Amino acid sequence: MLRARGGEVSSPWGQGPYTIFAPTDEAFNRLPGGIQQSLQEDPELLRRTLLYHISPGVREARALRNEIRVDTLVSDKQLTVRIYADKKPTVNSAVLTVPDARGSNGIVHIVSDVIYPIPEGDLWKTLESCNAFSSFAKLVREAELEDILSNTEKEEKWTIFVPVNAAFLLDESDKNDTNSLRELVRSHMVLGSHYSASLRDGLILYSVSAAATELEVGVRNGKLREVNIGRVLKADIPATNGVIHAIDRILLLPSIC
């Protein structure tokens, strides 16, 4: 399947060894129509996407550790491994469903989803590059938190629930005080990279704000759908140091009497 889709991607198979995180045909077919069309029409995008599923060396499932980064055949691009409560490893947003199928020049792990898109920047660059996130990016800048979100040297990763611009039209929170701004931004941030695959319905996450805001997630059919009363518009937007979930409203801090 990878050979049929990737064309030239098959050329390095005589070497190795490799570890392949291989989506099924069904996983490819589940991609949104627009993404399928882009992959069909852009050979280089398809090639990079397939190479992003391949890691040099042999990595058995038992050797995968929480929050390690795995090199891929795309230069300077890595996969992030997470081990969650059910003990099944994930790579970015994909779950290892059938691990450790051995071949003559490596090992194959069947995964639940196509690992797409390839993260092209850190969280801060990802926020800045998306017009729908410009209001939240402005808050981050005013709260002086850009350095935290752009730091890829530390092992820390973050999950951010990012309200889209329209959410700010409904909000009346105080955006003048720097400390208040910082708390508002941090109330949308959770330590660790929490893709949909890591979450179960009703799970409580805690923000890194001083109030440690409770964030209850709603998950259906393996995808994150809600957080508190906010609807998730797009889940699992990858970055090199975490993941973003786009939501339709601001998660307001609790009132304190």
Domain assignments of the chain as residue spans, ordered by start: 2-111, 123-247
Q: In angstroms, rounded to a whole number, what is the distance separating the alpha carbons of residues 242 and 3?
A: 30
Tell me the two tokens of residue 13: 């198979």
Q: Tens of pLDDT along 78-129?
A: 999 988 766 789 999 899 999 999 988 999 999 999 999 999 899 999 999 9
Q: Place 176 in a pLDDT band, splitting at 50, 70 and 90.
A: low
Coil vs helix vs strand at 94: strand
Residue 8 has pLDDT above 70, yes or no: no
- Give tens-digit pLDDT for 69-79: 899 999 989 99
Asked if residue 66 lies in contact with residue 82, where contact means CB atoms within 8 angstroms, the answer is yes
**pLDDT higher for 88 or 58?**
58
Question: pLDDT at residue 172 above 70?
Answer: no
Average pLDDT, whole number, for the chain? Answer: 89
Q: Are 68 and 81 in contact (CB under 8 A)?
A: yes
Q: Does a cis peptide bond (omega within 30 degrees of 0) precede residue 23?
A: no
Query: In the chain, pLDDT over 90 holds for what percent of residues?
Result: 71
d(Cα 191, Cα 115) in Å, to the nearest integer? Answer: 22
CB neighbour class for 152 (10 Å; exposed up to 12, middle 13-18, buried from 19): middle
Whether 2-111 and 123-247 share one fold: the answer is yes
pLDDT of residue 152: 78
Indicate the pLDDT class of residue 43, thresholds 50, 70 and 90: very high
State the Cα–Cα distance between residues 172 and 166, nearest whole angstrom.
Answer: 13
**pLDDT value for 255:** 53
Render pLDDT for 203-216 as a digit per residue (tens, 0 to 9): 999 999 999 999 99
Q: Which CATH number fits domain 2-111: 3.30.56.10, 3.40.1160.10, 3.40.718.10, 2.30.180.10?
A: 2.30.180.10
123-247 is classed in which CATH architecture? Answer: Roll (2.30)
Angle value at C-alpha 96, between 101 and 193, nearest 5 degrees: 145
